[in-house]
Chain A
Amino acid sequence: MRLHRIAVALAAGILAAASTVSAVDGVVEINQARAAAGGVTAGDEEGFPVTISVPGSYRLTSDLTLPLVAGVENLTAIEITSDFVTLDLNGFALVGETNCTGTPVTSCSPVGSGDGIQASSRSFVRIHNGTVRGFGDKGIHAGYALIEDVRARSNGSNGIHLELGGRVTGSAAIGNGAHGFTGQALTVERSRASLNKGAGFDALSGVVRASEAFDNVLEGIRVGDGLAFDNLSWNFNEARALSLSTGGYARNILVGEHPPVTGGTQIGPNSCNGGLCP
């Protein structure tokens, strides 16, 4: 009888453990139902934002869609309040209600204070593999972060904004209400920015490499005193395809109605409208 009770208790305990928000590989799972229920981490209340307050590894298991309520433009989907968080969007999307229109973007509505992912005071955050679209302010707003394979689209302000810098690879920022990618000491590689209302890549003191900028309202690529290398930038608006202050550039293909580059020093050949840049 005693064995029976122990076994039943063990079974109940193990089944209870299986029903927690951690997947079989230990990663904490987040989906629409769990966002609504709260308790993803300590301090996470019901509804949005989902609060991630503990270092560790997290994964979406569905899209997270903001509710269609008054003031939705001020809602944030995920707020990260700890350093050392890895968030795998797992191919899913964070979805808000903001829509940007125009080619390139001329306006976004409704705009507000909500971000797709808000981690602006945190460092060593890693976000990868998914989409962030339709938020009233920024798609991703972090301190120091590593971003991989993320698409930020139709957000009211910047697509991906890293306050303290970091690295972005394999990502895209399309049709956002301000810059596509922005941050100090930011490095962006193998990424694309198109149709944004601001600059495509605004990486002052940083690096843009092996990336593409198409038809953004402001400059395609801005690197200040940094480095632009192996990019394609195509801009038929007033702004230049590539803008630098004292930085260097090499092996870029630059196209535009105006001289497609301003400032900087060539440290290798570049193509301007089909010929070598002067």
Chain B
Amino acid sequence: VSRAPAIGLALLVAAARAAHGVDGVIEINQARALAGGVSPGDTAGFPVLLSVPGSYRLTGDLDVRGETTPENVTAIRIAAHDVTLDLNGFGVVGPVVCTGGPPPTSCVPVGTGFGIDGRSFTNTRVTNGSVRGFRYGVWTGFATLDRVQAIGNQEWGITIQGSATFGGFPQGGGRITDCLAARNGGTGFMGLTEASGLRIESSRAFENAGHGFQLPIRSEIRSSEAIHNGGDGIFAPSGITLGNLSRDNLGAQLSGDGACGSNVLIAATAPTACYGQFEPNLCNGVLCATE
């Protein structure tokens, strides 16, 4: 019994220091978000600031809905290059709810919050979880995203801003694989100008109010699906569009001036393929006309 105070204090200290998992990854959950100190400069509450390169992992959902004006709250702000963030199957949750449609016709409350904001930094990796209910779901610089689901955000689900240069070299947009953007109030996957060279693979955009996929120039999308989005299914101003399914989108199924092949395009209004068919494409069950 006489050792109980020491044991208790030791456990308390251990619990307080437990921002690092047993494997050295920095762990983030709701309590630690509210307490602050996840990385240098991280103050109590949201956003959780990731200011140091390294590996971070959620150990619970992060939910900003309890904040004052939660629609203006960003959940995680990445403020360093070379950050890996494992959502560990959990969700980053905001207050926005999209209704109507599908695709949705309203997403409220309108605000300014991001689920994950890493716009100004490069070589980010985000994996394995969902981001839902923010103004923007995930917005990164040059990044690798895999198995991320962006659902029901007011505007864009997943946005890659790219990095024009880093260390003097063009970085482009990075890579998205096995991701989903659904029922967002804007475009599902958005690649901004500096994200040229972005590659999207094995991903799906469905029932977003804007385009399914909007790619920057010199980018590639393959083995993906755009289904019942409010804008174009795939908007690819240049680059390659290969082996995708685009159907029942309210705009064009495939638009832009890039090269395309082996895509299947289906719509009530006869779809057309790209100008540069390097392989045949199928438009409503017949080979698409060549331009």
| B88 interface neighbour in A25, A185, A227, Cβ under 8 Å | A25
Closest-CB distance, A25 to chain B (whole angstroms): 5
Q: Which residue of B lies closest to A10 (CB)?
A: B8
The answer, among B5, B178, B202, B245, for a CB contact under 8 Å with A4, is: B5
Between-chain CB contacts (< 8 Å), 12 pairs: A9-B8, A14-B11, A25-B21, A26-B27, A55-B91, A207-B225, A209-B223, A226-B245, A245-B285, A247-B285, A248-B262, A266-B280
Contact call B264/A226, Cβ cutoff below 8 A: yes
Residues of A within 8 A of B214 (CB): none
Binds A, one of B55-63, B64-72, B116-124, B250-258: B55-63
Instruction: Tell me if A84 and B11 are in contact (CB < 8 A).
Output: no
A267 touching B280, Cβ below 8 Å: yes
**Cβ of B247 < 8 Å from any Cβ of A?**
yes
B129 at interface, CB cutoff 8 A: yes
Identify the closest chain B residue to A244 (Cβ). B285
Contact of A6 among B8, B61, B149, B281 (CB under 8 A): B8
Tell whether, in the assembled complex, residue B280 and residue A268 are in contact, meaning their CB atoms are under 8 Å apart.
Answer: yes
Contact with B along A265-276 (1 / 0, CB 8 A): 111100000000
> A86 vs B91: C-alpha distance in the bound complex, in angstroms?
9
- B204 to A167, Cβ gap below 8 A? yes
A1-26: CB near B (< 8 Å → 1, else 0) gives 00110111111001100000000111
* Set of chain B residues within 8 Å of A187, measured between Cβ atoms: 204, 225, 245
* B270 adjacent to chain A (CB < 8 Å): no
The reply to whether A267 and B91 form a contact with Cβ atoms under 8 Å apart is no
B128: nearest chain-A partner, CB-CB: A86
Contact yes or no, A209 B59, CB < 8 A: no
A239-270 vs B, Cβ < 8 Å mask (1 yes, 0 no):
00000011110100000000000000111100
Which residues of B are found within 8 Å of A250, using beta-carbon distances? Answer: 262, 279-280
Interface residues of A (CB under 8 A from B): 3-4, 6-11, 14-15, 24-27, 55-58, 84, 86, 88, 124, 126, 146, 148, 167, 169, 185, 187, 189, 205-207, 209, 225-227, 229, 245-248, 250, 265-268
A10 with B12, Cβ < 8 A, contacts A250-B279, A267-B281 known = yes
- Whether B11 and A265, one on each chain, are in contact in the complex, defined by CB atoms closer than 8 angstroms, is no
In the bound complex, CA of A265 to CA of B285 (Å) = 7
Decide: B151 and A124 in contact? CB cutoff 8 A: yes
A86 CA / B22 CA spacing, docked (Å): 22
The number of A-B residue pairs with CB atoms under 8 Å apart is: 148
Which B residues are within 8 Å of any A CB, using their own CB? 4-9, 11-12, 15, 21-22, 27, 29, 57-61, 88-91, 93, 128-130, 132, 147, 149, 151, 178, 180, 182, 202, 204, 206, 223, 225, 227, 243, 245, 247, 261-262, 264, 266, 279-282, 284-287
Closest to B6 in A: A7
Asked whether A56 and B60 contact (CB < 8 A) given A7-B9, A14-B11, the answer is yes
| B223 in contact with A25 (CB, 8 Å) | no
| Given A57-B90, A207-B225, A268-B262 contact (CB < 8 Å) | yes
Which residue of B15, B89, B178, B182 contacts A57 across the interface (Cβ within 8 Å)?
A: B89
A93 smallest CB distance to B (angstroms): 19
- A78 vs B180: C-alpha distance when bound (angstroms): 24
Q: A56-B90, A226-B245 are in contact. Are A26 and B264 (CB under 8 A)?
A: no
B243 close to A227 (CB less than 8 A): yes
With a cutoff of 8 Å between Cβ atoms, the chain B residues found around residue A167 in the complex are: 178, 180, 202, 204
Contact yes or no, A267 B279, CB < 8 A: yes
Question: Is there an interface contact between A86 and B245, defined as CB atoms closer than 8 Å?
Answer: no
Q: A84-B132, A124-B130 are in contact. Are A7 and B90 (CB under 8 A)?
A: no
Closest to A58 in B: B89
Asked if B4 contacts A4 (CB within 8 A), the reply is yes
Inter-chain contacts of B282 with A (CB < 8 A): 227, 247-248, 265, 267
| Residues on the B chain within 8 Å of A229, using CB | 223, 243, 262
**Sample of 18 more A-B contacts, CB < 8 Å, known A126-B147, A126-B149:** A4-B4, A7-B6, A7-B8, A11-B4, A11-B11, A14-B15, A24-B59, A26-B88, A57-B89, A84-B91, A126-B89, A146-B178, A167-B204, A206-B245, A246-B286, A247-B282, A247-B285, A250-B279
Q: In the complex, how many angstroms separate the beta carbon of A1 from the nearest chain B beta carbon?
A: 10
**A209 touching B4, Cβ below 8 Å:** no
Q: A3 and B5: CB pair below 8 A? A: yes
**Nearest A-chain residue to B152, judged by Cβ:** A124
* Chain A residue, CB-CB nearest to B287: A265
B5 CB to nearest A CB, Å: 4
A54 to chain B, nearest CB (A): 9
| B93 neighbours in A (Cβ, 8 Å) | 55
CB distance from A7 to the nearest CB of B (A): 3
Residues from chain A with Cβ under 8 Å of B8 in the complex: 6-11, 14
A247 and B264 form a contact (CB under 8 A):
yes
Chain A residues with CB under 8 Å of B223's CB are 189, 207, 209, 229
